[in-house]
């Protein structure tokens, strides 16, 4: 085989990989952006809970995307949105109050989620993050599964905005491996959460490993003992790309500095 033929084959392989990646990414994300999709009437009152600590740069985008959900436009009386301020020192609270109810909770993300759940009047709790974007059909795709009698929780992929390498990696990961239960974009019945004892609030809520174990492994394992958990692969939400900054040895942003000082998870 000549060098030129190897180059052609190599280019063809790259082109095939790129085509297949784009095909899978489209398959993964097309439905969540479909504003004209069939909209299911919610199976109960829905409370959207958003913990927030110093999120003035992101929370308005998150709230606008959540409140622009097609299912909320069609069935507004079924929904409430609660931001749980986690002792922010910036203008997070002032921004959030322009869009929804705001309550307070002691420092710690699980403290905030738990306080929001106790305050909520809904039957279904939807857990969101203050730095994420939620496409318009996301909530509709999540909530439709609660019409099934055995379902106690539903979640979807948590992807990252604006990074090509991450996009490629997650496309293949999402289509080959079952994704972890995530605090952003998961939902569960309030009664189920309370029945299994909810989060263990005594853990160190600024230890990333302990927090991920509690929220992504322990809680879903407990919920699974009393019902079915559905993974909806088409219900993608998108975190901000700031999470990649943690890999940089130079603490540039306020977010990175707060994480490294142990002030936030």
Question: DSSP letters along 149-198, please?
Answer: TTEEEEE--EEETT-HHHHHHHHHHHHHSPPPP-SSSEEEEHHHHHHTT-
Q: Which residue has the higher pLDDT, 4 or 259?
A: 259
- Residue-wise pLDDT for 141-200, tens only, equals 999 999 999 999 999 988 776 655 566 666 656 555 556 677 788 999 999 999 999 999
Tens-digit pLDDT profile for residues 9-59: 455 655 776 667 667 777 778 899 998 899 999 999 999 999 999 999 999
> For tokens 């622009």, what's the residue?
68
Compute the Cα dihedral for 245, 248, 252, 257 and give only its sign. positive
In the chain, the domains with their CATH numbers are 21-240 (3.90.550.10)
Q: With 80 as the cut, is the pLDDT of residue 245 above it?
A: no
Average pLDDT rounded to a whole number, residues 93-110: 96
How far apart, in whole angstroms, are the C-alpha atoms of residue 153 and residue 223? 7
Distance between alpha carbon 202 and the CA centroid of its chain, in Å? 23
Is 186 within 8 Å of 154 (Cβ atoms)?
A: yes
Q: Specify the pLDDT at position 129.
A: 94
Q: Work out the average pLDDT over 81-89.
A: 96
Residue 54: CB atoms within 10 Å: 21
Distance CA 132, CA 129 (A): 6
- Per-residue confidence (pLDDT) for residue 246, from 0 to 100: 63
Burial class (CB in 10 A: 0-12, 13-18, 19+), 67: middle
Percent of the chain residues topping a pLDDT of 90: 62
pLDDT band at 90 (very low <50, low <70, confident <90, very high): very high
Of the ranges 75-79, 96-100, 214-218, which one carries the lowest mean pLDDT score? Answer: 214-218
Per-residue confidence band for 7, with pLDDT thresholds at 50, 70 and 90: very low
The per-residue pLDDT for 8 is: 44
pTM, two decimals, is 0.85
- Alpha helices, DSSP H, located in the chain: 3-29, 59-67, 70-74, 92-96, 109-119, 138-143, 164-176, 190-195, 208-213, 219-224, 254-260
**128-167 burial: b if 16+ Cβ within 10 Å, else e:** bbbbbbbbbbbbbbbbbbbeeeebbbbbbbbbbbeeeebb
Please check whether residue 126 is in contact with residue 23, taking contact to mean a CB–CB distance below 8 angstroms: no
What rounded mean pLDDT belongs to the chain? 86
């Amino acid at each position: 085989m000549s060098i030129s033929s190897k180059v052609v084959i190599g280019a063809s392989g790259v082109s095939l990989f790129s085509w297949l990646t784009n095909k899978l990414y489209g398959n993964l994300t097309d439905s969540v952006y479909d504003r004209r999709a069939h909209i299911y009437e919610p199976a109960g009152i829905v409370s959207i809970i958003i913990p927030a600590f110093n999120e003035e740069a992101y929370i308005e985008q998150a709230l606008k995307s959540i409140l622009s959900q097609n299912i909320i436009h069609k069935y507004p009386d079924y929904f409430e949105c609660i931001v749980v301020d986690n002792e922010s020192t910036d203008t997070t609270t002032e921004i959030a109050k322009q869009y929804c109810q705001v309550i307070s909770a002691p420092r710690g993300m699980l403290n905030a989620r738990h306080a929001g759940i106790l305050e909520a009047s809904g039957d279904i709790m939807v857990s969101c993050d203050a730095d994420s974007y939620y496409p318009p059909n996301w909530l509709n795709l999540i909530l439709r599964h609660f019409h099934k009698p055995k379902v106690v929780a539903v979640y979807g992929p948590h992807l990252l905005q604006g990074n090509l390498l991450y996009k490629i990696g997650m496309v293949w990961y999402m289509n080959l491996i079952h994704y972890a239960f995530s605090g952003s974009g998961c939902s569960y019945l309030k009664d189920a959460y309370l029945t299994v004892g909810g989060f263990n609030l005594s853990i160190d809520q600024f230890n990333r490993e302990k927090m991920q174990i509690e929220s992504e492994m322990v809680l879903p394992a407990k919920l699974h003992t009393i019902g079915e958990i559905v993974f909806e692969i088409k219900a993608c939400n998108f975190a901000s790309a700031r999470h990649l900054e943690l890999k940089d040895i130079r603490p540039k942003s306020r977010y990175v500095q707060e994480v490294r000082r142990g002030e936030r998870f």
